[in-house]
Amino acid sequence: MRYTEKRNVIVGQSGGPTAAINSSLAGVYRTAKDRGYKKVYGMLHGVQGLIEGRYVDLSEHITNGLDSELLKRTPASYLGSCRYKLPEIHENQALYEQIFTILKDLEIDCFIYIGGNDSMDTIKKLSDYAIITGSPIRFVGCPKTIDNDLALTDHTPGYGSAAKYIGTSVKEIIRDGWSMRNSKGQVIIIEIMGRNAGWLTGAAALSKGEDCDGPDAIYMPELDFDVDAFVEKCKNLLQVKNSVVVCVSEGIHTADGKYVMELQDATDFTDAFGHKQLTGTARVLCDIVSREIGCKTRAIELSTLQRAASHCASRVDILEAYEVGGAAMKAADEGDSGKMVTITRLSDDPYQAGTEVKDVHKIANDERLVPREWVNEEGTYVTDEFITYVRPLIQGDVAPIMVDGIPRHLYKPGYQDLL
C-alpha cells in the first residue's frame, strides 16, 4: 500500500555528534521539500525522544536559505541525540506498536535516521517490523560517524572534518613543540578518539608535509600495543630530536586485551551505560615515559573538540553530508526501505564519489577497521595508501559565518529548552 499523495517525513539523529551531521539534516529537509512532502518533523534525541512524543516541525527551524547555511556550519546534533538500542521485536512488540502508532498519527511516509552502527540497527529493526506488519512507511539510514567504521561505505560523513581538524591541530602542536629546548628533550602524547578503529588517529599523519615531519609515531587500536617497544622508540627518537610527538588512539590495548589506560591506578570511570570512560591513555603513557626516561612530557587529549570543530570543517565532508542526506530522502521517496546510503569512491585523483543504496542488514552492528596493510610493519605509522585514501576527504573549507569575531550557529528562540 502506498499513499497516492505525499504526506510527511520524520528525521532523527543518533549517536555521537559530528561537525557534519547537521549538514545531512539540512540535506534531508531540502530534498523532502523539493519532492513535495508536506511536513518534515525532527525527532528530539532520536528514537528515544520520539517514543516520549518529543519532536518538532523543522520548518520552524529552517525558515530560509540562511538558516540552512547556518545549520550546515553548526556542530553537534541539532535535534539532540541518543544512545539507545531498540530491543529485538519479539522482546517488546508493544514498544514497536507504540512507535508505529506515533508515526501513523503524524502521517509519516518516510523515516530517515542519521547515525552510525547503533542507528543502522534501529533502521533494520523498524523496517523489519514494517514488513511484518505491512506498514507502508519506508525507513532509510543516513551514515554519520567521525569514527569512519561503518561497513560497505568508502567513508562516513563527519570523518573528513574530524580528520582535517586532527591534521591541523597536530601540526600546530608539533610546531609548538619545536619552540623550546629541554635538557632531556620532551615527549608529547596526543590522544585521539577511536575505541576500536584507528581512522581518526591515522589522520594525524595529514600534518606531514614539506613544512612538517608529522608525528613521530602513530599507534592504533587495530594492533596490540607493546609498552616496552614504545618506550624504546621514544628513547631512540630523543637521541635525534628534542621534541617527540606520538599520537595514540584512546582504545589502544596490550596483547592481553587490557586498555593502556587501565595500566595505572587511575579512577576507573564507567558511564551510565556501563561503557568504560577511556580518557587518560595519553596521561598513563606520559607517566610511563616520565618514569622510564625522565624527560619532560605533555599529554594532550583532543577530546570532544575533534568532533565539534565546525570552524575547521572540510568542504568535501560538509557537501557530501548534505548530498547523502538528500540521497537518503530520495531513496525513501522512491520506495526503498531497510537501506542505508553509502558513498562509493570512483577516483582518488581527481577525487570523485557517488552515492549508492545498500541493505542495512549487511551494515548494522559491523565495524570497518583500518586494513593491516595500511599500517607499516612495525605498527607505528600509516602507509601512503592510507594518506591517499584520507587526503581527498579534507579538501576545501567552509568559511564560518562570523558574528562579532565568533562563528555563528543555528539557534531559534527557545530552541535550547527543547533539548
Which of 31, 169, 337, 380 is close enough to bind a copy of itself by CB under 8 A? 169
The reply on whether position 391 binds a copy of itself by CB under 8 A is yes
In the structure grid, which three cell numbers stand for residue 366, read together?
Answer: 559491523
HSE-CB of 365 using CA atoms within 13 angstroms: 8
Which of 1, 94, 255, 406 is close enough to bind a copy of itself by CB under 8 A? 406
Q: Which is nearer to a copy of itself, 88 or 172 (CB)?
A: 172
Q: Are 68 and 30 in contact (CB under 8 A)?
A: yes
147 in catalytic set: yes
Active-site residue identified among 109, 118, 128, 147: 147
Residues 238-277 that bind a copy of itself (CB under 8 A): 242, 267, 269, 271-272
- Calpha distance 343→17 (Å, rounded): 20
The distance of closest approach from Cβ of residue 149 to a copy of itself in the complex, given in angstroms and rounded to an integer, is: 19
HSE-CB of 250 using CA atoms within 13 angstroms: 17
Q: Which is nearer to a copy of itself, 275 or 372 (CB)?
A: 275
Query: In 3D, which of 222, 193, 158, 155 has the Cα closest to residue 382?
Result: 222
The reply on whether position 64 binds a copy of itself by CB under 8 A is no
Which of 4, 179, 239, 347 is close enough to bind a copy of itself by CB under 8 A? 179
Considering only the stretches 35-43, 58-66, 70-78, 227-235, report the one whose residues sit in contact with a copy of itself under the rule CB under 8 A: 70-78
Which of 207, 281, 337, 355 is close enough to bind a copy of itself by CB under 8 A? 207
Radius of gyration (C-alpha) of the chain in whole angstroms: 22
Considering only the stretches 33-41, 99-107, 180-188, 377-385, report the one whose residues sit in contact with a copy of itself under the rule CB under 8 A: 180-188
- Calpha distance 261→283 (Å, rounded): 8
Task: Give the list of residues 6+ apart from residue 371 with CB closer than 8 angstroms, or none.
Answer: none
The reply on whether position 172 binds a copy of itself by CB under 8 A is yes
Residues 282-321 that bind a copy of itself (CB under 8 A): 287, 290, 296, 298-301, 303-305, 307-312, 314
The reply on whether position 82 binds a copy of itself by CB under 8 A is yes
Query: In 3D, which of 83, 85, 143, 151 has the Cα closest to residue 116?
Result: 143
HSE-CB of 344 using CA atoms within 13 angstroms: 9
**Would you give the binding string for a copy of itself spanning residues 337-366, x where CB under 8 A is met?**
------------------------------
Query: In 3D, which of 127, 97, 90 has the Cα closest to residue 111?
Result: 127
Amino acid at 107: E
| Catalytic sites, residue numbers | 147
